[in-house]
Amino acid sequence: MAGGFNTAVTYFLFILLIKIGIQYKLALTLDYAVGLILGYLLNKYWVFNKNEKVQSLIKYLLSYILIFLVNLILLWFSIEFCKANAIFSQLLIILIISIIGFVFQNFWVFTNKKIKLKK
């Protein structure tokens, strides 16, 4: 639910920025800046453990940067090579990066579980 809310807010921000004439790369960067803060707060305090350490913030930032770069590359490719619409392309890309983001957050960023390896 938190991820869906964050995604909806940032996607509508992206649409607004594109509609007022902001270039898609800058629009995506601004979109991610807002989503980074909103997403971290929602995930930390609503979805996952509130007592996560600074390490979770670092992991969150690293995963968010990776996801941003994947998003930027896919958006750039769809607009520059496929000549697709930025708003429609971003909607399709969100489907891909949402899964990647959830996996990163669930299994790497916000986890207190210790993984025990079998000997």
Show Cβ contacts of residue 89 under 8 Å, excluding neighbours closer than 6 positions.
Answer: 74, 75, 78, 79, 82
pTM of the model: 0.78
Backbone angles phi, psi at 20, to 5 degrees: -90, 5
Q: What is the pLDDT of residue 116?
A: 45
Q: What share of the chain is helix, strand, coil (3-state, %, to 5)?
A: 80, 0, 20
pLDDT (tens place) for every residue of the chain, 119 residues total: 667 788 899 999 999 999 999 999 999 999 999 998 887 777 666 655 555 566 767 887 888 899 999 999 999 999 999 999 999 999 999 999 988 877 877 777 766 554 444 55
Residue 87: closest CA among 72, 75, 73, 69: 75
Task: Judge contact between 105 and 41, C-beta under 8 A.
Answer: no
How far, in Å, CA of 94 to CA of 71, rounded?
8
Dihedral angle, C-alpha 91, 96, 98, 103, nearest 10 ° = 180
